Structure 1
Amino acid sequence: MSAVEQYARAHIVTDTADSPEDEGRAVPVAFHYDAEADSRQVRITLPGPHEWVFPRELLEQGLRVPVSNGDVRVWPCGRVQAVMEFHSAKGVAVVQVDSKALTRFLRRTYMAATPVTH
Structure 2
Amino acid sequence: MSTVFEQPVQARLVASAPRTEAVAATLRYDRADPYAVSMAFPPPATLEGVEVSWAFGRELLAEGVEGPAGVGDVRLRPYGDDRTVVEFHAPEGVAMVHVRTAELRRFLERSQRVVPWGREHQYLDWDADLANLLKDRP
| TM-score greater than 0.5 by the shorter chain | yes
Kindly indicate whether residue 45 of structure 2 is the aligned counterpart of residue 46 of structure 1: no
Paired amino acid for 2:67: V
**How far is the alpha carbon of 1:4 from its aligned partner?**
1.4
Residue 92 of structure 2: aligned partner: 90
Please list every run of 5 or more consecutive structure 2 residues that lacks an aligned counterpart in the other structure.
Answer: 44-50, 120-138
Per the normalisation by structure 2, the TM-score is 0.73
**Cross-structure match for 1:74:** 76
For residues 16-68 of structure 1, what are the alpha-carbon distances to aligned partners after superposition, in whole Å with 9 as ceiling and x for unaligned? xxxx6xx41211000000012x1000010123232100100011000111011
Using the size of structure 1 for normalisation, the TM-score is 0.85
Q: Is the 8 A contact 2:15 2:21 kept in 1?
A: no
Do 1:72 and 1:85's aligned partners in 2 also have CA atoms closer than 8 Å? yes
What is the count of residue pairs matched by the alignment? 109
RMSD between aligned alpha carbons? 1.9
Q: From the CA coordinates, give the structure whose radius of gyration is larger.
A: 2
Q: C-alpha deviations, 1:70-110, integer Å up to 9, x for none?
A: 20000001111100000112211000000011001111111
1:92 counterpart SS class? strand
Give the match's secondary structure for 1:65.
coil
Runs of 4+ in 1 over 2 A off after TM superposition: none
Say which SS state the counterpart of residue 7 (structure 1) adopts: strand
Identity among equivalent positions (%) equals 36
Higher strand share: 1
In the alignment, structure 1 residue 2 sits paired with structure 2 residue 10: no
Unmatched tracts of structure 1, length 5 or more: none
Distance 1:69 1:107 in 2: 24
Cα distance in structure 2, aligned partners of 1:58 and 1:69: 10
Maintained 8 Å contact 2:83/2:101? yes
1:24 aligns to what?
20
Matched, 1:99 2:97: no
Distance in 1 separating the partners of 2:4 and 2:114: 7
